[in-house]
Structure 1
Amino acid sequence: MAILKKSRILIQSSSKMGLNQKKAFNALLYIAKQQMDEDFDRKIFKSTYKEVKSLMTDKRINNNELLKNLESLVEIGITINILENEKFMSRRAVAVLAEVETDKDFNIEFIFPDTVRKNLYHPKMFSPLNLDFQKGMSRKHSLPIYEFCKDYIKVQIPKMELETFKFMLGITGAYNKIHDLRRKVIEPAIKEINETTDINITKYELIRNGKKMGHIKFWGEAKEGFSVSEGNGIFPGNEVEIFEEDPKGKIKIQKTLEFEELIKKMPAKEKLTLKQEKELKKLIKEYGLEHVESNLNYTNSHKYKEYYNYLRKAIKEDYAEPMRVKAAAEKERLEKEKLELDKQKAAAELKAKLREETLKFYNNMPEKERLDIEKTALEELEQLKGIKFLKNRPTIFASMKEEKIIEILRGEHQNGYNKKGLKPAETD
């Protein structure tokens, strides 16, 4: 049984990954975590085609298909913590994998970006996912919905803004007709989750916000015989329960650290009564922490006669919605910029690595072959018009020589001689 303790930050994420890419990502997370348990400082992880496929599915996967899925994870970005439910970390975008390398013997080496790696070892909040259950899934949207609901199955599954839900599934801008969203996405996913996993989603509801559907909420329960807390830690971090007695010692008020942090943001002179605290908790359950917090910040920045009454009205009528929309747009812009910079950095690192391997290969070649390469490159250089007058002639010559070496390297890859071949065609 392979249990992946997946960080809530990675569960509450959005990407353009397909189903097999999501399964491969989970498999690599599990493999990396096992190896980090032996060596915490480890950054380069090793596996095989066979091991990864065994964690993804019981069905046969062609090696070329698996390779394509693995290599695509370097190009795909993932926006993590989209519900902003982690106390000390904001939402951000990173690459799924920093690097992956395979060879002709079907071995795999891979590296995670630092952000992913840090959330792999002892995450503050996680859900224990039995990877056997992902094997039976055939629908793209089942896995993220399952992981989200499983994360909260021991408590109340929070209400989510519909656009955030679609963003999590990677379908922003699609299925704009509610009928299509129900029929093609939500209900088939629920059916598959209930048939193949350890939880039952017993009910879901699309909630109106004015004339439009604004939120979605799921209800669920663990199936008989399955433990929802396996792995000791659905909430090992910032949802530790504390208790405080009222001045008369008669009433105990249950609070969470999240709630404590929220009320600390209120003006120091404003003190909530016990009744107001209970009501505010109900509002958080009804509207969500992000919704309440944004309207609390809105209230703090405006004039009011009675603080709590104004806050209650702001929450119910959502005065802060324009602020959240603007903030979300700015975050999305910054995330896109960060993702583009990450891609450029990865491309530069890959180019530098290729140049290093090319130079090493060239230096190990017989002298006659090296001279032949230089002669061919020089002949082609002389054919370029006006080349004698160009100041960057040495740079062009070096580039042409490098291209010749890469052509030879590619030829050896195709013939299966190179130890780091990237296109194995066999299947096991």
Structure 2
Amino acid sequence: MTEEQNSSSSVTKHPALKKKIHIIQKESALTAIYASGNLTAAQKKVFNAFLYLGKDLVQSEIFAPEDGFSVPVSMLKNLIGDQSNNYTYLKKTVESLQDFTVESNVLGKDKKKWDRFSLVAGATIENGVLRFSFPHQIIDALKNPKMYVTLDLDEINRIDRKYAISLYEILEDYKKLPSLPKWSIDEFRKALDIPDSSYKTYRDLHRRVVTPAVEEINEKFGMGLEYVLYSNLLAIPSSDLTSEAENGVMTNRMRMPRITHIQFRLVKEKMEERLNYKAFVESMRKQYMPNPDDGYFPSIYNFDGQVFKVDTTGRLYIQNISIDGTIEIEELTPEKSDYYWKLLWKKSLEEKGEDFE
């Protein structure tokens, strides 16, 4: 038995240990936070994992804020998609969160006043156990969420760039509105936690932040994300601005006007396609949910000995059956899971005679 296994056995079993579909309801005010531009992608993912771990216990009758939270560090690694053995880096990332004082609700979506507060009140990893605590502002938000966005941690774990994580969470928060707000460049910078000292011109902001974030989100989630730039609230025709693929430097056919605002928009057809895909996944999970008590383990599909099933938590896995009848279980990463769900979705559409792109 490893040190981690031995120490974690003394930790009270957390409700989230039984879950593999990692969904959080994150307060809207916490999707757009400003920490002077110092939060890394890893820190953002760890903070989301803390919110996930804290929610069930905070809403239980036995929770005492002074006790904080204790879970096996292996659980945190699972939540943030960390498959490395770099224990030192993970410990440093966790403990660094207590150094941040943040300004939340920077886009003003929540009309309630939010003060500056510490991101976490304390956080450490010792002997294979993660222990952390929240300030009262976050405890209150977890107990009584008023305005929140539903996020899938497995999807966020697929994002590499820290600004893309922030933009993705904000878009998810605003996507149900008839149209996304028009933000000033200053608001946009603050919401994505971009430090004042970085990317001072829009050319740099476009090249280093906007374009890479939009490209990553579209590539990984097919959201059809676009944006319009404004100069003093007048839209700038896209023909006035070009990008040189050779060096990635933004140029202009005319003198480029001063960019004052940016407005994102989601292509309706792409968003409908994404919603249909997610609805398909949810329906498959419900339809093929196993019942171990009755010995019921239904198969979704069989591709030449690769049998696709979901476990009791709704997570897709593959049962590989060899010629001699040997069965091996293949657990899937979020990326592979998404890939195979889309194959199954495509097969379903083909059987219905519908198009798939």
Give the alignment's TM-score, normalised by structure 1: 0.50
* Residues 101 and 82 (structure 1), Cα distance of their counterparts in 2 relative to 1, 3 Å cut: same
Which residue does 1:196 correspond to in 2?
A: 220
**Following TM superposition, by how much is the alpha carbon of 1:41 offset from its aligned partner in structure 2, in angstroms?**
3.9
* Residues 58 and 93 (structure 1), Cα distance of their counterparts in 2 relative to 1, 3 Å cut: same
Say whether residues 1:101 and 2:124 are aligned partners: yes
Moved more, 160-169 or 31-40: 31-40
Note if contact 1:81-1:92 (Cα within 8 Å) is conserved in structure 2. no
Distance in 1 (alpha carbons) for counterparts of 2:180 and 2:109: 13
Which residue does 2:199 correspond to in 1?
A: 175
In structure 2, what residue type is equivalent to 1:103? Answer: E
Note if contact 1:207-1:213 (Cα within 8 Å) is conserved in structure 2. yes
The one of 259, 274, 299 aligned to 1:213? 259
**Following TM superposition, by how much is the alpha carbon of 1:46 offset from its aligned partner in structure 2, in angstroms?**
1.5
**Following TM superposition, by how much is the alpha carbon of 1:58 offset from its aligned partner in structure 2, in angstroms?**
4.9
Distance in 2 (alpha carbons) for counterparts of 1:68 and 1:167: 25
SS at match of 1:110: strand
Distance in 1 (alpha carbons) for counterparts of 2:123 and 2:131: 6
| CA RMSD in angstroms, aligned pairs only | 2.3
* Residues 159 and 61 (structure 1), Cα distance of their counterparts in 2 relative to 1, 3 Å cut: farther
Distance in 2 (alpha carbons) for counterparts of 1:22 and 1:72: 11
Say whether residues 1:225 and 2:225 are aligned partners: no
Distance in 2 (alpha carbons) for counterparts of 1:154 and 1:84: 17
Distance in 2 (alpha carbons) for counterparts of 1:19 and 1:137: 8
Distance in 2 (alpha carbons) for counterparts of 1:117 and 1:174: 33
In structure 1, what residue type is equivalent to 2:223? Answer: N
The one of 29, 33, 37 aligned to 2:55? 33
Distance in 1 (alpha carbons) for counterparts of 2:216 and 2:61: 37
Note if contact 2:58-2:139 (Cα within 8 Å) is conserved in structure 1. no
Which residue does 1:81 correspond to in 2?
A: 105
Q: Residue by residue, what CA displacement relative to the aligned partner does 1:224-270 show, whole Å, maximum 9, x if unpaired? A: 43559x99xxxxxxxxxxxxxxxxxxxxxxxxxxxxxxxxxxxxxxx
Note if contact 2:107-2:191 (Cα within 8 Å) is conserved in structure 1. no
Q: By percentage of residues, which structure has more strand?
A: 2
Q: How does 1:307-322 map to 2 (within 5 A)?
A: none
Q: Residue by residue, what CA displacement relative to the aligned partner does 1:205-235 show, whole Å, maximum 9, x if unpaired? A: 221128532111111253143559x99xxxx
Q: How many residues align?
A: 227
The one of 137, 141, 152 aligned to 1:115? 137
Distance in 2 (alpha carbons) for counterparts of 1:72 and 1:160: 30
In structure 1, what residue type is equivalent to 2:141? Answer: N
Q: How does 1:22-421 map to 2 (within 5 A)?
A: 22-39=44-61, 41-43=63-65, 44-60=68-84, 62-87=86-111, 89-104=112-127, 106-155=128-177, 156-171=179-194, 172-197=196-221, 200-209=223-232, 212-220=258-266, 222=271, 223-226=274-277
Gaps of 5+ in 2: 1-20, 234-256, 283-357
SS at match of 1:109: strand
**Following TM superposition, by how much is the alpha carbon of 1:27 offset from its aligned partner in structure 2, in angstroms?**
0.3
Note if contact 2:57-2:63 (Cα within 8 Å) is conserved in structure 1. no
Which residue does 1:6 correspond to in 2?
A: 26
Distance in 1 (alpha carbons) for counterparts of 2:213 and 2:85: 22
Note if contact 2:32-2:192 (Cα within 8 Å) is conserved in structure 1. no
Higher alpha-carbon Rg: 1
Distance in 2 (alpha carbons) for counterparts of 1:86 and 1:23: 22
Give the alignment's TM-score, normalised by structure 2: 0.59
**Following TM superposition, by how much is the alpha carbon of 1:24 offset from its aligned partner in structure 2, in angstroms?**
0.2
Identity %: 29
**Following TM superposition, by how much is the alpha carbon of 1:61 offset from its aligned partner in structure 2, in angstroms?**
5.1
Gaps of 5+ in 1: 232-428
* Residues 200 and 55 (structure 1), Cα distance of their counterparts in 2 relative to 1, 3 Å cut: same
Q: Residue by residue, what CA displacement relative to the aligned partner does 1:3-48 show, whole Å, maximum 9, x if unpaired? A: 1100001012112211000000000100001222333743211112
Note if contact 2:59-2:142 (Cα within 8 Å) is conserved in structure 1. no
Note if contact 2:94-2:125 (Cα within 8 Å) is conserved in structure 1. no
**Following TM superposition, by how much is the alpha carbon of 1:167 offset from its aligned partner in structure 2, in angstroms?**
1.4
